[in-house]
């Protein structure tokens, strides 16, 4: 399980199910165990933000994703994100475009 599988069928998921799948990913996948609680909340907030747009039938644009990534990159020290974390988040956000 990876971040893309959590975001799969995002339009049809309830918030509870989304939180469940995200928590399961964080527990079971060793690749994401390096994320602390603040980073998990950050990713969860991004999932919920895009979920609301996708439910309305609006796919996120490349520009919106770039703006979010730029914001994360600029504040990476404040958020405590590593470059590896940023790559994982970028993969997740890119999966919404498909």
pLDDT at 41 over 90: no
55 — pLDDT class (breaks 50, 70, 90): confident
Mean pLDDT of the region 91-95: 79
Interhelix angle for 83-95 vs 37-55, to 10°? 20
Q: What pLDDT sits at residue 6?
A: 67
Q: What pLDDT sits at residue 17?
A: 81
Q: What pLDDT sits at residue 13?
A: 76
**Spatial distance between the Cα atoms of 96 and 58, rounded to a whole number of angstroms:** 10
**Spatial distance between the Cα atoms of 49 and 39, rounded to a whole number of angstroms:** 15
Q: What is the pTM of this model?
A: 0.72
pLDDT at 78 over 80: yes
**Spatial distance between the Cα atoms of 97 and 24, rounded to a whole number of angstroms:** 24
Strands (E), the chain: none
Q: What pLDDT sits at residue 98?
A: 57
User: What mean pLDDT is reported for the chain?
Assistant: 80
Tokens standing for residue 34: 């390096």
Mean pLDDT of the region 71-84: 90
């Amino acid at each position: 399980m990876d971040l893309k599988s959590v975001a799969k069928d995002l339009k049809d998921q309830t918030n509870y199910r989304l939180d469940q799948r995200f928590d399961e990913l964080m527990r079971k996948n060793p690749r994401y165990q390096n994320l602390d609680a603040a980073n998990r909340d950050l990713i969860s907030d991004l999932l919920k933000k895009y979920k609301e747009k996708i439910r309305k039938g609006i796919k996120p644009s490349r520009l919106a994703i770039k703006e979010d990534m730029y914001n994360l990159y600029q504040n990476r020290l404040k958020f405590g994100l590593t470059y590896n974390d940023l790559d994982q988040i970028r993969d997740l956000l890119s999966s919404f475009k498909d």
